[in-house]
Amino acid sequence: MMSVDASSRVEAVYAEVLRRNPGEPEFHQAVREVLHSLEPVLRKCPQYADANLVERLVEPERQVIFRVPWTDDAGEVHVNRGYRVQFSSALGPYKGGLRFVPQLSLGTVKFLAFEQIFKNALTGLGIGAGKGGADFDPKGRSDAEVMRFCQSFMTELHRHLGEHTDVPAGDINVGAREIGYLFGQYKRLANRYEAGVLTGKGIGWGGSHARTEATGYGTVHFVQEMLGTRGEELDGLRVVLSGSGNVSLFAVEKAQALGAQVVACSDSSGYVVDEAGLDLDLLKEIKLERRGRLDTYAEARAGARFSSRGSVYDVPCDVALPCATQNELREEHALGLVKNGVKVVAEGANMPCTPDAVAVLREAGVRYGPGKAANAGGVATSALEMRQNAARESWTFSEAEARLAVVMRGIHADCVTAAEEFGTPDDYVLGANAAGFLRVAEAMRDQGVV
């Protein structure tokens, strides 16, 4: 295969991924996007095709699937399925979040872990890539039920973790409460206070300031850098976001702090438009305290309107930040955004834009920031939390955010440099994939066939 051209080699690798991973469309999508953007890299740097490096890169180092039995408050026994995909340790211990969502599948976890390879490499902070979770829904469950589930989950997973082996964090439906229960059970089983084994911990016992805000803040920092390459800034621009969880809420907060007019956001019930600018305090109260729906916002805020039809991307804007879930922004949404004059689309979620949507945006000349670059702020701050744990330090909020801003500027600069080096200036997809790949590939070459 060594003499085969880069395009043919990529197609052969992708065909093998399809054969070995049937029924996992999200993983296929993530691999295809990366492989095709790496063709110019492999043409210019054929040494990275040595020893089937690319073939090894798309195969996880370890995949763990396990049973999670637990008992609800009424004494009924339930059984869920847990996952941890440890994809790459070339740059450091496996690092990536845990999510608890009812429809979670191995293919979804694998796609997330694969994306994490490049995202984590871009941070430059010495972390590998993993992802995990369970098909458990904590919504509507008591604290005691969530605790029992987390303890059962960690009872199996703990044998695969360690601050120098695998360091999970939170993700969808896994917040401070769940991390606390998981850490408590790990400590109990391991018989040691290993603060660096989980990130997203409480501030009083090893957590980092700005971790909750980091993904949303980081996405906005990245957008500001994207705009800066054309002499623009967020001040005065109209912004819409999908989602209304932590990523979205803190993206709103940072965008407003930089002078943007954030006019719309969404949840699973629909979207709200507030031409006066979203009232962040009201939004946080509804979403973080009341756990309510966005129609409540429209009822409480004069001039705001709620719609359960259409899409938040129907709202005209200069900047769109998809921050909800994978494949939410489709081709028809992208066409609407382009028609309404959008300048920048940056992903606060993981792979929220479908391939057809990305093609529309790129064809129209819209600046598109892929999630592996634009939303790397969360994992970057997790790695910074690990650094604080190792040194027994605790930074202030301003110190933690300042370090986050430095990391995001560095990621943006690396993406721009790589895109230029491989002949497609302003292509953040190629830039992010190439910059991340080169770091991982060099480490893999140095470490031999392992």
The rounded distance, in Å, linking the Cα atoms of 180 and 174 is 10
Is 116 annotated as ligand-binding?
yes
Radius of gyration for the chain, computed over Cα atoms and rounded to the nearest angstrom: 21
Residue 207's Cβ-side half-sphere holds a number of Cα atoms within 13 Å equal to 21
Residue 231's Cβ-side half-sphere holds a number of Cα atoms within 13 Å equal to 0
Is 201 annotated as ligand-binding?
no
Is 88 annotated as ligand-binding?
no
Is 354 annotated as ligand-binding?
no
The rounded distance, in Å, linking the Cα atoms of 427 and 422 is 10
Residue 23's Cβ-side half-sphere holds a number of Cα atoms within 13 Å equal to 2
The rounded distance, in Å, linking the Cα atoms of 378 and 12 is 34
The neighbour count for residue 291, using CB atoms within 10 Å, is: 8
Decide: 250 and 217 in contact? Cβ < 8 Å.
yes
Residue burial 22-37, b: 16+ Cβ < 10 Å; e: rest: eebebbbbbbbbbbbb
Nearest Cα neighbor of 63 from 16, 24, 101 is: 24
Is 199 annotated as ligand-binding?
no
Is 200 annotated as ligand-binding?
no
Is 254 among the residues known to form the active site?
Answer: no
Question: Exactly one of 110, 131, 287, 372 is catalytic; which is it?
Answer: 131
C-alpha distances out from residue 195 to 35, 86, 149, 206, Å: 36, 20, 21, 6
Is 381 annotated as ligand-binding?
no
353: phi then psi, degrees, rounded to nearest 5 = -100, 130
Residues annotated in the binding site, as ranges? 95, 116, 119, 170, 215, 246, 382
Residues annotated in the binding site for NAD(+), as ranges? 215, 246
Tell me which residues are annotated as active site. Answer: 131
Residues annotated in the binding site for substrate, as ranges? 95, 116, 119, 170, 382
